[in-house]
Amino acid sequence: MALSPYFPGHGDPRYGVAHYDLDLRYRLSTNWLSGTATLSARTVEPLVDLELDLGPFRVNSAKVDGVGVRHTHRAGRLRVLLDRPRPADAPLSIEIAYAGRPHPVASPFGGVGWEELTDGAMVASQPTGAPSWFPCNDRPDDKATYSLTVSTASAYQVLTNGAPVARRRAAGATTWVFAPTEPMATYLASVQIGRYQTSEGLACPARLAGKARHDFGRQSQMMALFTERFGPYPFAGYTAVVTDDDLEIPVEAQGLSIFGRNHVDGRRGFERLVAHELAHQWFGNSLTLARWNDIWLHEGFAAYAEWIWSEASGGESAAELAARWHQRLSAMPQDFTLADPGPALLFDDRVYKRGALTLHHLRTTMGDTAFFSMVRAWTAAHRHGSVSTAAFLAHAPSELEPLLSSWLYGRALPRFP
């Protein structure tokens, strides 16, 4: 698949990765990360070299199929020269040992990726932050499974995408071993390190536990509602992580969502965001865009899930929220197309809300029974896979393609249904 023009400096389409095995050691006092990444890959075409995305770490060694190979590393790209040419469809085991001080990757939306906290560390990589902490083929369509081993100071808890299967303590450090995950895109891989109290799908600082338990207390009801409307929950578990720092916005990872302490007020003042991030487990994490221009398939569905939760929990109905947002969007510039907003508008609120309005128009036209049946069939057909706007149009009733096209490809905002 051709790479998205949004981030042309990321990813190598000439090969794919099936599995990442990451063995990491992190020293909080100096923000020092060292690790060995072993990638189980397969060539797509004949290769004499390949490229990985990796931030400004020192690369100590590179091996392919156990043989040391030459490499060059500059401007975030690690070029590995194969010891011999490989044909198409050939398996490769790529092992990279590296070390350095991780920091966020610059993006049009600020720094993304590994970030030091006041007392810990977090990873929130959307869209291009994965190279801030491990060498990868940074393409959203190249989904792989992951095994993670993380060693850090024993006073801290480690959370990642997989389930913890072992913990070993020695000399003031604890090594956490996590089971392989379901397939996921590189930007959804995550590590959270902090002094967390964990219970019932929530990890937070002890001092925030009372307020946080209240604010996130209806996650199980959300889970039941979304399972009914969207289909079975796609992963083994889910945890909302509240850091002891302020964050501009919450961010989803696979099986995790990361919130700042500023999103906890003890009054459920940010509950719509709790619903939004949970919905991303279906739309974004299980069903992941193949190209970044299709971001509405993530954010439109997650924004609409906020409205679905609102009406189910006694708040405003989806129709009321849709009417209000249509009025607001009508007064805003209509200078983009939803199915290809451009990298600068990737996370613009107009994309989120126009995506939600698209789905609401589809729902009002089809009726609830047919609409949610279609959504459940969509999540089942593409579970743990890659999706596109073209695939969604093919999935929706063919007679509704003109309606969808007006929302997805026209710049002018369609009339409110």
Tens digits of residue pLDDT in 212-222: 999 999 999 99
Domain boundary pick from 155, 185, 215: 185
Residue 26, in any domain of the structure = yes
Residue 5: predicted pLDDT: 83
Of 185, 213, 248, the residue that ends a domain is 185
Q: Is 298 labeled as ligand-binding? A: no
State how many domains the chain has.
2
Q: Are residues 295 and 158 in the same domain?
A: no
Point out the catalytic residue in the list 352, 399, 401, 409. Answer: 352
Per residue in 298-313, pLDDT (tens digit) is 999 999 999 999 999 9
Residue 141: pLDDT band by 50, 70, 90 thresholds?
very high
Check if the beta carbon of residue 264 is closer than 8 Å to that of residue 286.
Answer: no
Residue 231 placed within a domain: no
Please check whether residues 63 and 179 belong to one and the same domain: yes
3-class DSSP state of 302: helix
Same domain, 47 and 164: yes
User: Average of pLDDT values for 275-302?
Assistant: 98
Is 306 annotated in a binding site? The answer is no
| Angle ∠(63,26,72) on CA atoms, nearest 5 | 30
Catalytic: which of 20, 277, 304, 306? 277
What are φ and ψ of residue 5, in 5° steps? -70, -10
Residue 180 placed within a domain: yes
User: Does residue 18 lie in a domain region?
Assistant: yes
Residue 155 has what pLDDT?
A: 96
The pTM for the full model equals: 0.97
pLDDT at 82 exceeding the cut of 70: yes
Of the residues 170, 185, 200, the one at which a domain ends: 185
279 within some domain = no
Q: Is the pLDDT of residue 1 over 50?
A: no
Find out whether 326 is annotated in a ligand binding site.
no
pLDDT higher than threshold 90 for residue 174:
yes
Q: How confident is the model at residue 417 (pLDDT cuts 50, 70, 90)?
A: confident
pLDDT, tens only, 85-125? 999 999 999 999 999 999 999 998 899 999 999 999 999 99
Q: Kindly state the average pLDDT of the residues 349-362.
A: 98
pLDDT mean over 192-205: 95
For residues 355 and 337, what is the distance between their CA atoms, to the nearest angstrom? 11
The pLDDT of residue 416 is 82
Residue 271 a catalytic site member: no
Residue 2 above 80 pLDDT?
A: no
State yes or no: is 352 an active-site residue: yes
3-state secondary structure at position 295? coil
Q: What is the CATH number of the domain that holds 51?
A: 2.60.40.1730
Q: In which domain, by residue range, is 34 found? A: 1-185
Same domain, 135 and 17: yes
If asked whether residues 174 and 322 sit together in one domain, one would say no
Do 308 and 180 fall into the same domain?
A: no
Residue 384 lies in a domain: yes
